[in-house]
Amino acid sequence: MNVTLDGETVVKLQPVFGYLHRNHEKIAEGNSWLAAVPYTDRLDYICPLTNNWAYTLAVETLAGLEVPERAEYIRIITAELTRLQNHVAFMGFILADMGAWGSALMYAFREREKILDLFEALTGARMMCNYMRFGGCRCDLPSGWLESAGQLVEGFPAFLDEMEALLTGNEILLARLQGVAPLTPERAINGGLSGPILRAAGVDYDIRKVDNYGLYSRFKFRVPRGRVGDCYDRFMIRVLEARESVEILKQALVGIPDGPVVNPKAKQRGFRPPAGEAYGRIEGPKGELGFYLISDGSDRPYRFRVRPPSLINLTLLEELCLGTKIADVMVILGSIDIVLGEVDR
């Protein structure tokens, strides 16, 4: 980004992006519906499974496929695990931006590795999972997966306590984060923000509660909301959301039923949804991730549009950074938590 400074304070800031533009949407319009699924992994490469889910959800609303219960449970478990590892990675990144030489980052990544091992055991790849299919998931849980996931979820609050002990009370961190770039609820809504940043500003809007997609209505969990909306609130909201995800995972891992993993009637290869359009959206770890699909009945999507939360949250960066110091620009960008794969597509 081009930052114009007056001494230490920021006068003008203009993010420059587009360097990671891979023409994702045009490629998806050139390939079959199934071929687009592995590309969604590469959108927000920190949370591949939620990207898959958003795309398959959109296709299912387009074609009117219903998903068996076991598949819904697996989707919720994998999505909440993705949210956990994304928020944990966020805690590590924001500390690294502030110059903590990576100790918090390494603790975060030690836990994230355990979650990625679970993904590798289930889908075959740590990050490029390509696991969700139209009407369910590609393959069933391998034996022993549920037990190891249960162990991980059991040990996670202890890890979160360790991270909070290291970070939340830390006077330097308080000085660096509190009061930096506060955001009013109106400004957040007008800016089209979504996800933890919106909730940090005090707006109670979580798509899992609003749309009740998947079987989220079946699980009891709370949605944290901040009051001031500054960097510290954005940081704390993610910590509290990680704790809520652990609650959901505990309920889901216990309640998972048996049954088919994919809707038998759904055709994956040569899949031709009826002509029409659909917009499927989910509460991704970074915000509202939506797919707007138009199908003309052929085996290729006519129009494939992604609504990336990172790009839209990034538009507010300049306004947040005006008048702050250089060191704050790093922290503010870190607190918005963007992934360039999603910004540039």
Binding flag, residue 99, other proteins (CB under 8 A):
yes
Residues 6+ apart with CB under 8 A from 157: 243, 246
Measured in whole angstroms, how far is the alpha carbon of residue 343 from the centre of its chain?
A: 13
Choice from 146, 268, 279, 340 touching other proteins (CB under 8 A): 268
Q: Are 261 and 313 in contact (CB under 8 A)?
A: no
The residue with tokens 């836990």 is 111
Stretch that binds other proteins, among 18-26, 76-84, 229-237, 312-320 (CB under 8 A): 229-237
The residue with tokens 């250089």 is 326
Binding flag, residue 101, other proteins (CB under 8 A):
yes
* Calpha distance 56→149 (Å, rounded): 24
The 8-class DSSP code of residue 6 comes to: E
Q: Are 109 and 91 in contact (CB under 8 A)?
A: no
- Map the footprint of other proteins across residues 155-194, applying CB under 8 A: 162, 165-176, 178-179
Binding flag, residue 138, other proteins (CB under 8 A):
yes
Question: C-beta of 267: minimal distance to other proteins in Å?
Answer: 11
Under rule CB under 8 A, how many of the chain's residues touch other proteins?
74
Residues 6+ apart with CB under 8 A from 93: 105, 334, 337
* Calpha distance 132→338 (Å, rounded): 24
Stretch that binds other proteins, among 16-24, 72-80, 91-99, 300-308 (CB under 8 A): 91-99
Binding flag, residue 209, other proteins (CB under 8 A):
yes
φ and ψ at 133, to 5 degrees? -125, 170
Q: Is 165 left (phi over 0), alpha (psi -120 to 50) or beta?
A: alpha
Binding flag, residue 228, other proteins (CB under 8 A):
yes
Stretch that binds other proteins, among 52-60, 118-126, 250-258, 308-316 (CB under 8 A): 118-126
* Calpha distance 64→211 (Å, rounded): 16
Binding flag, residue 322, other proteins (CB under 8 A):
no
Beta-bridged to residue 276, according to DSSP, are 295
Binding flag, residue 327, other proteins (CB under 8 A):
yes
Stretch that binds other proteins, among 58-66, 82-90, 110-118, 309-317 (CB under 8 A): 110-118
Stretch that binds other proteins, among 61-69, 187-195, 224-232, 288-296 (CB under 8 A): 224-232
Choice from 142, 259, 274, 297 touching other proteins (CB under 8 A): 142
Beta-bridged to residue 277, according to DSSP, are 294
- Map the footprint of other proteins across residues 232-261, applying CB under 8 A: 232-233, 236-237, 240
Binding flag, residue 102, other proteins (CB under 8 A):
yes
Question: C-beta of 236: minimal distance to other proteins in Å?
Answer: 7
* Calpha distance 198→191 (Å, rounded): 10
Question: C-beta of 95: minimal distance to other proteins in Å?
Answer: 6
Binding flag, residue 74, other proteins (CB under 8 A):
no
Amino acid at 112: R
Question: C-beta of 222: minimal distance to other proteins in Å?
Answer: 4
Question: C-beta of 71: minimal distance to other proteins in Å?
Answer: 16
Q: Which is nearer to other proteins, 168 or 298 (CB)?
A: 168
Please give the C-alpha separations between residue 59 and each of 69, 122, 280, 287, in angstroms, as whole numbers.
18, 23, 8, 20
- Map the footprint of other proteins across residues 36-55, applying CB under 8 A: 36-39
Question: C-beta of 18: minimal distance to other proteins in Å?
Answer: 22
